[in-house]
Structure formats: structure tokens, C-alpha cells
Structure 1
Amino acid sequence: MNTRQEALARQQELVNLARSEGRGLTADEQAEFDRCQAVIDGDGTRGEDGAAPSQDAAAEAQRAVENERRRMSDIINLCRQTGMDPAGYIQDGSSVEDVRRAAVDFLIQHHGPVGARMSESGSDEDNFRAAASDAMLLRSGIRTASPAAGAEQMRGLSLRDLAIECMAREGLGTTASLMRMSKDDLWGMAQRQFFNPTAAFPAILDNTIRKAIVQRYQAVPTTFQLWTTKGSVTDFKPTKDHEYLAGGAGEFLPVGEGGELKHDTPKTDLLPQRKISTYGRQFSMTREAFINDDIGFITQVPGMYAASAKRTINKQVYSILYSNPTIFDDKALFHADHGNLVTSGAAPSIENIQGMILKMMSQTDPFGDSITVQPRFIVVPVGYGFTLAQILQTAQIEVDGIGSHTANALYQYRNQLQVIEDGTLNTLAGTGAVPWFIIADPSYARCIQVDYLNGQETPTIRRMETPGQLGYVWDIWLDWGVTVVDYRGAVKNPGAKITL
């Protein structure tokens, strides 16, 4: 190779050969291309006529070669990312922009990556995962307040489509090659991603489950949280400090001029200590569920367990009211010595509600002084709600010996007393008498407290690998404890049988 013209011609031959075969230059071809470039740059001999070619012609040829190399490289990269064949685009001289438009059409037709259509705020990967998670919730009919950008476009993706999308984005194969795989083979790849902490597919499943759990837990129609108090503990050991009863501190004493303040210690002997326990279950998305595209395993099943957790707390709280267990002072929660038990059971009426309110307001502290506990809730089984609405909302009633336009003494409590109707009491009582209760305002006197570990009220999930289990497995658990912290905050009426 003695002339620059020959070097330019050889470079063009190398480029044309690679283009015709739909590939880039091999290592040997690249080395030869570089040797030709050295000749072109002036390291070789002069032309046949003894004169060097014009600098403009050489520069133009060089630019043409560089542009062609750049075009081929960009086309090959675009096609590799989308699963397209680059040979045709290289041979027919298509521009990079032409190939980019073709790639977009290809992805739309084959449900390819949609991350490019996400919001520019935040990282592309974070946007994609958030949109995929919200899309699964939307597909299952679970409302989301503000779906992530792109969620609506992705809500039609099946579990298989989502797995392909994630794996293609992570470079585990092209969209086209992954789509040609069977569902069973894809499931095998998805299971192996369990061990990759940065893998998108299992992370999206985790995020979807968490959102489904929180929403379902908050939507469960329980009532215990309306009238119990809520607390937080930091570990599973019984609390070091005893609970303090209403009015447990000594009264203020007069202090004379230059006198001494008398020391006082609140009475805590034999008073309740709180303790929590762990409650949980395990569920899985099986290989069969993935192949059948049963998205309910991700959105509905975890929500069912979350609802079960909250209902379990609700049942534990009402079981304490119904079963009347022995508490911290070795007496039943509702006991004559506690002044919070009506001996003769009956359905709600003006007279027995008044009697229960008087019992509550007559409570005293450990020193025998009145603490004037104020009633706040009437907790009743299903069947008494309508009766109580009539009792509290009727301004005038008929009283024997007085007349039909007598003022209803309970009318003044219509805004103070909140009626809480819960069927758990009916279930616990079965065919027997169903008790009902008046509960105090917690700011005056507490009754039952529900404690959570570090204040965490919603269940926690953890994905794990179980030997012999063909599927993703999740643990779901919640730490809580239910404790009677004071008997002065409730009065019980044993009630009567209810026929619904």
C-alpha cells in the first residue's frame, strides 16, 4: 500500500464489507483500518505522480469514514437494546434517526420498555418501578391517590410482560429473545433474581404488596381504635414502669411561708405492665400463579392477611370486654369492688344509661377522692344502635306521672356520647345475653390500651427463600399487645339476648 488513494480505497472496502454483513469491524480489520489511516495522515508515500493529494480531499474522506463508523456503531447499539436486526439498516444506508423511529415503533408493537415515557423527575429506574407497582394495583381495582407517571400505560401488562420488561432493562436479554421464552423458563429466571438485591422484578412485587397491605389495613372496618388508647414500646419485655391510674398522684398540700414541699410518689404497686407479642403468617406467589397471571396473589392475598391482623386485634380487645378477665389487682375487670358493673342486665334505656353514667362519674382515685370521669362512648352489639339513636336524639319523652312533653335528660349528651356498634360482641355471646358498655373519655380515664413495637401499626413483610417451594415466599407479621390499664374507664351492663 504505497499511496493515500490506495489507503482510502482499502478503508472503504473494509467498511463496505462490515456493512454488508451487518456487523462492526473485527480486530484485524480495525488494525488494518488504522494502518491505512496512518498512510492517509502522511506517514506513507506520496502519490503516483509524485504529488500529495489535496488536504481538503483527504480531510473530507476522513470525515466520511468517521461518520460511517459512528453511524454503524449507533445503529448496532440501538438494535442490540431493542432486539432488532441491524443488518438491513446498515446496508440500506438508514440514518440513526430513521433507526431510532423504527425502534420506537418496534417497542410499541412488542410491548417493549416504556421507561422512556416516564417523568423526568427522579431516576428513570425509580420511576419505572413506581409506575409498575401502581399499574398492578390499578389492574386489580385498588385505588391509588396519585398513580406514578406511566402507570396507566402499564396497567395492561401481565406478570410475564412485567418480568420481560424488567429483565430486558437489566440486560438479561433482548425483548424479542425474552418474548420467545416459555412462561416456565421466564419463571426460572425470575426466581434466580431473588438472590439479586438490585433486581427490579422482585422489588416491584415487594413494593406492590406493601402498598396493598397499607391500603387494605386502613380500610378494614374495625372499631377498637375509636375508643382504646394507643401506645408504643421498644422491645418485647414487660414495661419497666408500671402504668399510672387516673388520679394516682397525691393532692396538693398547702405550703406556709418558707415552708417545705412534701414529697409524693404516685401509687404504682400491683398496677399493670404492658407487653407485646408477634403475630404473623406466610404466603407465596407460586409458579402456577405466575404462569396463570394470577395477579391477585400480589394485590389481594397480602391485603387479606393485613385485614386479618387488624380484625385479630379487634377481636382481642372485645374479648377482654366480654370475658371480663382478672386484671392487675387480682379482681375481674368489671367487679362490684371496682364500681363499674351493673348487676342486672338489660337492653339500653334512658334509666339504665343514666345509672351507668352515674357509676362512672362516681369513681375515685387511690386516695378516695373523686376524679369525675366523663363518659365518651357507648359500645354496643349490633341491634342496639337504632334504639340508642332514638334515646339520644329525642328532645322530649313521655314520663308516667309527668306527661308527654318531659325533657329527655340524655338529650344533652347527644353530641358527647358516640355510639359504637360492633358485631364482635354478638359473635362472642352467641345465643346468650350480649353485654354493652359505656367507655370514658381517655383524657379522664383509660380502659384498654393497644401497644405496638416502635409505634408500627401496619404489618411488615419480608421476602424469603423456602427450600422445596416453587415460588416467591413472603412473611407478614405485626407486633402488638392489648392490656387493661385502668378499670375506671368503663362500665358494663350484662345486657340481654338479642334477636335480629
Structure 2
Amino acid sequence: MTRSSAGGAKPPGEGARLYAPEFRRSAEIGSFNPADNSVEVLWTTGAAVRRQNWVTGRYYNEILEVTPEAVDLARLNAGAPLLAGHDTDLRAVIGSVVPGSAVIRNGKGYARVGLSAAAGDADLVAKIRTGIIRNVSVGYRLIKVVVTEQADDDDEWRVVSWEPFEISAVAVGADPGAHFRSTSAHFEPCQFVGLDLGTASQERTRASTIAELAESAGEPAFGLRHVAAGTSIQDFRHKLLELLVEREAPHTDGVLVTNFNGNRQRDQQRASAIQAAILHRINPTNALPDGAREFRGMGLIDMARDVLEAGGISTRGMNRQEIAAEALMQRSSGMHTTSDFSVILGSVVSTSLRAGYESAPQTFRPLVRETTVSDFKEVTRAQLGEAPRLEKVNEHGEYKRGTIGEGSEKYRAYKFGKIIGITREVIVNDDLNAFGRIPQMFGVAAAQLESDLVWAEILGNPVMGDGTALFHANHNNLASAAALAVAPIGAMRAAMAKQTGLDKKTVLNISPAFVIVPVELETKAEQLLRSVYQPTNANDATPASMRRLGLISEPRLDNGVVHPVTGVAIAGSNTAWYLAASPGQIDTVELAYLEGNRGVYTESKMAFNTDGIEIKARMEVGAKVIDWRAFQKNAGA
């Protein structure tokens, strides 16, 4: 029996190094914070887990030391991923650790994890938010282990140095005996103190050699099975060769079953590199990672040939048209993966479209409050009134009951979209315009659609829930026509402050936060609000409080807008101007997206009738002014 150095004598084999796989342990998801879409995660308690030594076959209890000195938190605090079930596919990333949030407290590991807002992750993230998925499993690497061997075959492995590198949402509960191994079985060198390896030297060589051979062939699980079965290195080489031959054997229709390289991770890295190279060709300011440099000088046909060859499809003797057609073909075998050329091109188009959407100017953003709706049905937004006044209660008297007034505004989200087609001719002609400028223009159009929705609400003067137009004398928000100047701004500020609640009694004291003008008045507004010089007439001086107002200038106020839903043209005015409150003080305009689909969303499919692929861009959004008391309008002069 060999004891660890903690027992006094220096144990044999101290400092020995061995290759150990990455491990997994179950833990728990904590509280969800809707403000930043994040969850608190308890990712380790250090509880003992019973495992089997894949080198010697002996069982042991692994105990993690959970102290700041033992745990290297660098990778977690750098923003390590939150995965779905330890899947290393990029599509399995459903969040990331908030940088700097991973800590060790009282022998436990905690971190805050930000959740994905991508549409494809909505279902899984929703289950985490609502507490249906409550468990996580941390992936970690052993660095130093102190081993104490026991006569009863249950050794103790105390991990005194280790590194967590990912957290995964899992279905298995926080069972101290539950653990997962990585399907990739990545092996890392680890220092074992107190483990006698004299009789296990050959076994260790056999196991590590088999693991490395299996990893290089893209069959790590196959290697682990033969490590456990005691297969010799020579026999394993024969069995691995048989597996590869069988894997690459053609079907009767001549289509190969799987990728020749057999390494899904390398395929995905190639796909990412090609995508980056295409985006760099479209716009040289886009980053060109090291892995993408080998594709920098290639045209689309050359890239398509590379992907086909990597997938085991020979392009010898094919002309440009045939290569393009083969690269875009949807396979009946169902083996289409993220490395396939059509998927790469679809991703490039989506990236360009998203870039156009995010770069388009949207002046309305400070005015709106974003929210989500679960479907396309009409939703009702309550316009809460003021709380009832407190009244004097006499000695031995009873408290009187009060009610809170409530108004309502109704609206719904609508679906908008268009389809972009990529044909075989686009690839043959190496037409990067189809992947760069055109999708970017679609993205800009999507952003313009949101702007049209919001400004149509303000310009269109819609009827509110009380049956009166948004800007109306009955709402005390339609000022006497006057040119933009200090005096009319002051009068409108006073009118906004004097707005009352639904009981027509309680004064709300609303303060304007923005002056909204057509571009025709932008320079004048800047002079009025930003000038530091005193005018000749002291009565025309701009008060300091007024200079703190934000300025929003929007050309739709000059030119008008066509309502995206009704198609009705709404006239503009180059003299009318407005005051608006902050959405943090009172409801202004609500912009609602279908749950999980903020902004523009894309998806692609094969287009059999055009011999290419189609990318569908869609938005599911609606807008509505919620409270007239947040606005003041002046027709100008």
C-alpha cells in the first residue's frame, strides 16, 4: 500500500506524469436575472466522485480541492462557453461565463453565465430561465493529483491543482456519483504524486498510444473502448484500419457515407476559415484569421473544390459549372453538415445581412422600450393610473379601500420578409456582390423597416385606447403653433409637467428628455440647445436645464413615411417639432419582437427551381405609442 506525501514518507513515483482525460461533474443552476439575461451557476462543490483508472483498471474516489490556490479560474473568467450537453459543436454554445464572475467561496465554485439571445437557442434558454433545466456539469483538466492507494481497491485521488474550461447545461441532476467524459476524449499531461507506476509502465504506453491514434483518426470513443478491452497496440492498428476502410466504403449509388478526414472539428474549422476568407474578400477591413490565410487568394470555385475534396468527393475532370452544381447539391443521404459549401455561403450572406442591419442608423432607439411577445395575437398594454390618495383615518376609524385607474393600448407584431437567391451562376462568375453588397442592402432595409414602424406611429397621430388621437387638445399635448424657440419649448415643458393621471387630479410632473425635429430644423435646434454664447437679448438666452435636452433629428419627419403594415402614405412637415420624455420615466413607444427573434433573422434552404440556395430574411416586430402624456407636439411656423 502506497501513501501520499501527507503521511510523512516520500512516496515512490512522486512527480510522475501521466496523460489524463478531461472530466465532467454535475452541479446546479441558480437564480435567473432578467435584467441582463444571466443565471448564477454553482459549478462545483468538490464532492467525491467514484471513477475507474483507465490505466490500471482500479477504482478510486476523486476529490477536488476547491480553494483559490487549487483552481485555475483563468479560462472561466476569460469568458468560457456554456454548452448544451458538452457538445463541442459551435452551434451548441448557448451562453458564456460573464468575464471576471467566476469565484471560489467557502469551498464551492460560483459564476454568472450570460445566456444566448439567438433564435435557434430560444427553446433551451427558455427552459433554463424558467427553471426546467436546473443542472450544469463543469468540464475540467487535471494538473496535479495526490494519490493514496488503498488495499480495498478504492484509492483516493485528491486533485490539488485543476483547471475548469467549460460549463454545460445537462439533464442529469447534481448527483455526486454522476460524471461525464468528453466525447472527444482530449488527453492532457497531469502530474500524479504518490502513484506507483512501476508495474503499469507498459500499460500506460499502450493506453496513451491507442488514445492518440484514435484521436488522430477522429474516432476517440473507438480508442477508449479498446483501451478498456486491453487490446494491444498492434491489434488496435489493424482494427482501426478496418474501421476506416469500412467507413469510407461507397454506397451502391456512389455517394460516400462520411467525410474522408473523419474529423468533424477540422471540417468546421475549415468552414469557418473559408467563411472568413470570403468576408475578407467582400470587405478587406474584415479580420482575416491565421487559419483563413490559405484561402485568401482563392475564388469561389476553388473554395468549392476544396470543400468537395475534403468531403471525399473527387472533382477531377469536373468543369466550373459542374463543381458549382455539386457544391450546391443537397444530399439525399442527409449527411449535409456545417462544413458543406452551401451552408458556408448561406452563413456569409447572413453575416453580411446582419452587418448591414446593425450599421444602419436608427434615430428612434432612445425613445422606445423593447419588449417581446409570444405570438402574433393582439396584445394589450396596461396604462396604469396613479395610486389613490391616502386619506386621514380617525381614531377607531376604518381604512377606506381605493382603486388604481387603468387604461389600455392594443397592438400586435407582424411578419415581414424577403428571399435572397444564390444560383450556380453566381459561384461560377465569382460574384461577390451577391454575398456582400446585396445582403447588406437587405439588412439596411430591415433596419429601415423598424424605423418606419416607430416614426409612422408618431407621424400618423393614431387613435389611442381612449378613442382620442395621440396629439389632441383633450390630451393637453398639442401646443399653439410656433417656431422652435426658447419660449414655446418652455410652454410645452410646463404642459408636460402639468399632465395628470387617469383620475384627472394627480399631477405627474413629467420632464421632457428629447427635442425631436425634422432635419430642416436640426441646425437651428443645435444652435438653440448647444450654444454657449449669450444672445443680445437676455430674454432669449437658453436656460442651462434646456441645454441638457437630447436632440433627435429624423428625415422621415420632413419627407413622411409609408406605414409598413397598412401601406398608407403619411405626410411629413419640415416645421413641426416635438418634445418627448424618457421611456424610463413614463411609457413612450413600445417596440415588440416575437420572442427569441430580435432584429433580422435568416434561414436557408435548397432552391430546386433555380439551381441554387435561397436565404430567407424575416422580421417579426410591432410598434405602438403607449402613453400620450409622454409627448408634446408643435406644428411650427
TM-score interval, normalised by the smaller of the two chains: 0.5 to 0.7
- CA distance, structure 2, for counterparts of residue 212 and residue 297 of structure 1: 10
2:372 is aligned with 1:232 = yes
1:171 aligns to what? 312
The equivalent of 2:616 in structure 1 is 475
Partner of 1:128: 270
Partner of 1:219: 359
Residue 162 in structure 1 maps to residue 303 in structure 2 = yes
Q: Which amino acid aligns with 2:546?
A: Y
Classify 1:268/1:201 alpha carbon distance in 2 versus 1 (closer, same or farther; 3 Å): same
CA distance in 2, matches of 1:249, 1:202: 59
Structure 2 distance, partners of 1:218, 1:181, is 40
- Partner deviation per Cα, 1:183-235 (whole Å, 9 max, x = no partner): 11112212313664315212212222232222221110121112122111111
Paired residue for 1:418, among 530, 544, 550?
550
Counterpart in the other structure of 1:283:
420
Q: String of CA shifts for 1:9-32, please: whole Å, max 9, x gaps.
A: xxxxxxxxxxxxxxxxxxxxxxxx
Report the equivalent of 1:464.
605
Contact 2:493 2:512 in 1 (8 A): yes
Could you list the per-position Cα deviations for residues 347-400 of structure 1 after superposition, in whole angstroms to 9, with x for gaps in the alignment? 3111111122111111111122111111111111112121112112335644xx
Q: CA deviation at 1:254?
A: 5.7
Structure 2 letter corresponding to 1:268: E
Question: Residue 351 in 1 paired to residue 487 in 2?
Answer: yes
- Match for 1:349: what amino acid? A
**Using a 3 Å threshold, how does the CA distance of structure 1 residues 354 and 169 change in structure 2: closer, same or farther?**
same
The one-letter code sitting in structure 2 at the alignment partner of 1:215 is A
Aligned to 1:192: 329
Aligned residue runs from structure 1 range 74-89, under 5 A: none
The answer to whether 1:208 aligns with 2:348 is yes
Pairing 1:318-333 to 2, within 5 Å after superposition? 318-333=455-470
Kept after mapping to 2: 8 A contact 1:433/1:494: no
> What one-letter code is carried by the residue in structure 1 that aligns with 2:489?
I
CA distance change for structure 1 residues 361 and 468 in 2, over 3 Å: closer, same or farther?
A: same
Residue in 2 aligned with 1:360?
Answer: 496
Q: How far apart, in 1, do the equivalents of 2:373 and 2:293 lie? A: 41
- On the 8 A contact 2:325/2:611 being kept in 1, the answer is no
CA RMSD of aligned residues (A): 3.2
Alignment partners' CA distance in 2, 1:326 and 1:147 = 52
Q: Is the 8 A contact 2:357 2:444 kept in 1?
A: yes
Deviation at 1:265, TM superposition (A): 4.7
1: CA distance, partners of 2:357 / 2:559: 22
Does the CA contact (< 8 Å) of 2:521 and 2:574 recur in 1?
A: no
Structure 2: gaps spanning 5 or more residues: 1-233, 249-260, 561-569
* Structure number with higher strand proportion: 2
> 1:259 & 1:463 partners in 2: Cα distance?
70
Decide whether the 8 Å contact of 1:248 with 1:366 is kept in 2: yes
381 and 185 in structure 1: CA distance in 2 versus 1, 3 angstrom threshold = same
Aligned-partner Cα distance in 1 for 2:406–2:448: 32
Partner of 2:436, secondary structure, is helix
Alpha-carbon offset, residue 421 of structure 1:
0.8
Contact 1:395 1:407 in 2 (8 A): no
- AA of the residue aligned to 1:439: A
- Assess if the C-alpha contact under 8 Å between 1:450 and 1:483 holds in 2: yes
User: Is the Cα contact below 8 Å between 1:378 and 1:436 reproduced in 2?
Assistant: yes
Q: Which amino acid aligns with 2:283?
A: G
Label 1:190 to 1:255 Cα distance change in 2 as closer, same or farther (>3 A): farther
Deviations 1:258-307 (A, max 9, x none): 987655553334x1023101010111012221111112212322221121
Q: Is 1:397–1:406's contact at 8 Å kept on the other side of the alignment?
A: no
Partner secondary structure for residue 272 of structure 1: strand
Asked if the contact 1:137/1:208 (under 8 Å) is kept, the reply is yes
- Give the Cα separation in 2 of the matches to 1:133 and 1:257: 78
CA distance in 1, matches of 2:282, 2:606: 26
SS at match of 2:409: coil
How far 1:453 sits from its partner (Å)? Answer: 0.9
**Preserved CA contact (<8 Å) 2:471 2:633:** yes
Please, which moves more after superposition, 205-214 or 301-310?
A: 205-214
Aligned CA distance change for structure 1 residues 328 and 470 (closer, same or farther; 3 Å): same
- Structure 1: 5+ residue runs without aligned partners? 1-65, 81-114
Partner secondary structure for residue 242 of structure 1: strand
In the alignment, is the contact (CA less than 8 A) between 1:194 and 1:202 conserved in 2?
A: no
User: Where do residues 295-334 of structure 1 align in structure 2 (5 Å cutoff)?
Assistant: 295-334=432-471
- Are 2:373 and 2:592, in contact at CA under 8 Å, matched by a contact in 1? yes
TM norm structure 1: 0.67
TM-score (structure 2 length as normaliser): 0.53
Q: Are residues 283 and 244 of structure 1, via their aligned partners in 2, closer, same or farther at CA, if it must alter by over 3 Å?
A: same
Task: Evaluate the alpha carbon distance shift between residue 394 and residue 299 of structure 1 in structure 2; reply closer, same or farther with a 3 A threshold.
Answer: closer
| 2: CA distance, partners of 1:365 / 1:418 | 25
Greater Cα radius of gyration, structure 1 or 2: 1
Q: How many residues align?
A: 371
User: Identity, % of aligned pairs?
Assistant: 25
Q: Is the 8 A contact 1:306 1:459 kept in 2?
A: yes
8 Å CA contact 2:499–2:629 kept in 1: the answer is: yes
- Does the 8 A contact of 1:322 with 1:435 survive in 2? no
1:441 is aligned to 582
Counterpart selection for 1:140 from 273, 278, 282: 282
Specify which of 482, 489, 497 is matched with residue 630 of structure 2: 489
Letter in 2 for 1:266: I
Which SS does the other structure have where 1:157 is aligned?
coil
